[in-house]
Amino acid sequence: MGRRYDPERRQRIIDAAMRVVREKGLDGLSHRSVAAEADVPLGSTTYHFVTLDELMVAALRQANDRFGDLLAAEVESWEPGGDVAGSLARLLGEWLQGDSGRVELEYELYFAAVRRPALKVVAAEWAERARELLASRMDGVTARGVVALIDGICLQVLLTGEGYDEGAAREVFGRVIRG
């Protein structure tokens, strides 16, 4: 009997890993738990991702790409002299107020990078991509500060349970951008 052609299997495994981490945290992530969630044979998860770090890298990269693509579209839409601070505050609000479980998952993977070198590279890629996107419209130091501010605001919302305050975010983004 030949192999069943399943071009979407790798993506289903990544999506399943993200659901497992979202529901059970990183401690619940295993090849076995992901295979069960993706409804694929255990060997499929280890074929596509030999280690769990490889699987977490793919999941974090996918999460980073999602926000990075939104940020790229936002930056592209900015008109000269437009309200950049307001635009960033609105984008961040939409991101945070969308699916909070997704944001928590992404930051859990992001924090795992502190102790996992493979993930550290991916986390650094996101910060650099965001900095480059912003630096196309502002100086590099300010762009780096805005990236740090985005992370800081997200962390405060996730850790404190307080709602996102778009007005306060607009004000602080404006202060950083204006210098």
As given in the structure block, the two tokens for residue 135 are 């630096």
For the domain spanning 1-50, the CATH number is: 1.10.10.60
- Read off the pLDDT of residues 16-52 as tens digits, 9 standing for 90 and up: 999 999 899 889 999 999 999 999 999 999 999 999 9
pTM, two decimals, is 0.84
Q: Are 92 and 150 in contact (CB under 8 A)?
A: yes
For 52-178, the fitting CATH number among 1.10.357.10, 3.40.50.460, 1.20.910.10, 3.40.50.300 is 1.10.357.10
Cα–Cα dist 131/39, whole Å = 38
- Read off the pLDDT of residues 102-116 as tens digits, 9 standing for 90 and up: 888 888 888 888 899
